[in-house]
A and B are shown apart, each in its own frame.
Chain A
């Protein structure tokens, strides 16, 4: 693969995730961009492509992103070659990074600023429930039956528990793991640890999931800068290399997915490992997309860390906690850090880079050299796996 060793992530930025009604969304984007530029130690005028991914809370704001507002704000008018959107919902981390790799290796771009921002946490709750009820839910074939985004994980979990005999306690232990990491993350929204009993005693939303097994919508923003390895070597920081990608798209409407307990993971994982030239035993930590607590279990199995049906016991035994054998989703995920619409994957990618460059402070994974990041868009319409490393094997 001709991007391997030729492209590097050189800077990251992120604003705290949460409900900040007084913080304009533009501020989320701009502060994340400024942090990423400073983190990279790069002259901002060297950014020749600005790539703002999609925003959900407001159509006009999203149009502003498409129409180069960030180029103007960052003083790149007349210098930037392109401003355009790469957007696949929650998997935009991978699709932006892949696009950046392609543009840089072909010489169509030198340095790309990828940024995500949204403000779905401050809007009235019922308004956001009704808005999200329309996302990825087929108007003609699903909406009339009362289906909605917050029930999507439930359909997966019901079948997964049926096929694997995974228990409600084991599923809830994923939330326990997420909250333990979130407690160590100053950018996280839900920083209080939680017990399995508390989770299972919370109000039922859509069986088998309770309120405390749901993600919480939040405002946030994150950015990362991608450039050539040549350029990265001139910069002061530690570059992080994308080593392999694997992905599959398997539905638009969840009711058409014929294998919802695997979600394309086995195929995508094989692709990514082969491209990177590594296997599960080489991975030091994983940044797995959550949304709902069943998904990291399917991910651990699909990526080869557990046999099918054994991930629940693996997580419940503490293997993914801080200090565990396989640190998982060390920012706390959307169950701990918060769900910023398309930002779930971007936050994980930024966290993977943070860990690999030794900047994760209280939650730093020792000797973090190779990571797997996963992300999904829509109603888990796709699976994207990205393997990242400090070195090119």
Chain B
């Protein structure tokens, strides 16, 4: 476990199950029990139909890079040691979008629409952050 002094997410009552699942290295999203909408990030009630009947489902953890940037400068002070780092918007298979860092890949290898898979980094005892790494395609034999 790497101790991290950066700003960490402060869970809300309705997002806490998401962060608890991250500690178990599981990626959860919400689903509306009334209209069926899949929801990320976690909401207090369904943004489509305003129902409070929300449940949690396991996401596949697979998705595609919608867009990204590799940061070299003007970063917030607390990220100075991480430069360069990649910030991306991932479109999960379930259709929702989330921001995360992409790791395990040289920045110049990144492309929009490339396949990525979630991994988790335990940054403190309480918080594990989802990150994504490229899916390595096995060469066809």
Instruction: Give A contacts to B, CB under 8 Å.
Output: 126, 129-130, 133, 138-148, 150-151, 154-156, 158-159, 162, 203-208, 211, 214, 253-258, 260
Contact = CB atoms under 8 A, between A and B. Distances in A.
15 contacts: A139-B9, A140-B10, A141-B98, A143-B76, A144-B6, A144-B7, A145-B129, A146-B82, A148-B74, A150-B74, A155-B67, A204-B72, A205-B71, A207-B72, A255-B97
Nearest to B127: A144
Interface of B: 6-12, 15, 41, 66-77, 79, 82, 85, 87, 89, 97-101, 107, 111-113, 129
Given A142-B99, A203-B73, 10 more contacts: A129-B77, A138-B99, A141-B41, A145-B99, A145-B129, A146-B79, A147-B87, A159-B67, A204-B73, A206-B74
Contacts of A211: 73
A42 B56 CA distance: 62
B69 A144 contact: no
A255 B99 contact: yes
Contacts of A253: 99
B82 A156 contact: no
Contacts of A257: 97
A255 B74 contact: no
A207 B8 CA distance: 25
A146 B69 contact: no
B70 A140 contact: no
A207 B77 contact: no
A150 B6 CA distance: 19
B85 A146 contact: yes
Contact of B101 (A143, A146, A159): A146
Contacts of A143: 7, 76
A260 B91 CA distance: 13
A181 to B, nearest CB: 25
B11 A140 contact: yes
Contacts of A150: 74
B76 A155 contact: no
B76 A207 contact: no
B74 A158 contact: no
Given A145-B87, A145-B100, A255-B97, A140 B41 contact: yes
A141 B97 CA distance: 11
Contacts of B8: 144
B89 A255 contact: yes
A156 B41 contact: no
Contacts of B41: 138, 140-141, 256
Contact of B71 (A140, A141, A146): A146
A154 B75 CA distance: 13
Nearest first, the 9 A-B pairs at minimum CB distance are: A154-B69, A255-B99, A159-B67, A162-B112, A133-B76, A146-B79, A206-B69, A207-B70, A204-B72
A258 B67 CA distance: 10
B99 A207 contact: no
Most central of B68, B69, B77 by chain A CB within 10 Å: B69
Contacts of A133: 76
A142 B101 CA distance: 10
Contacts of B99: 138, 141-142, 145, 147, 253, 255
A246 to B, nearest CB: 24
A158 B77 contact: no
Nearest to B12: A140
Nearest to B107: A207
Contacts of B98: 141, 255
Contacts of B129: 144-145
A130 B77 contact: yes
B115 to A, nearest CB: 15
Contacts of A144: 6-9, 129
A22 B70 CA distance: 37
A144 B82 CA distance: 12
Contact of B75 (A148, A156, A158): A148
A158 B76 CA distance: 21
B91 to A, nearest CB: 8
A133 B75 CA distance: 8
A141 B99 CA distance: 7
Contacts of B97: 255-258
A168 to B, nearest CB: 14
Contacts of B79: 146
Contacts of A158: 67-69, 112
B85 A260 contact: no
Contacts of B112: 158-159, 162
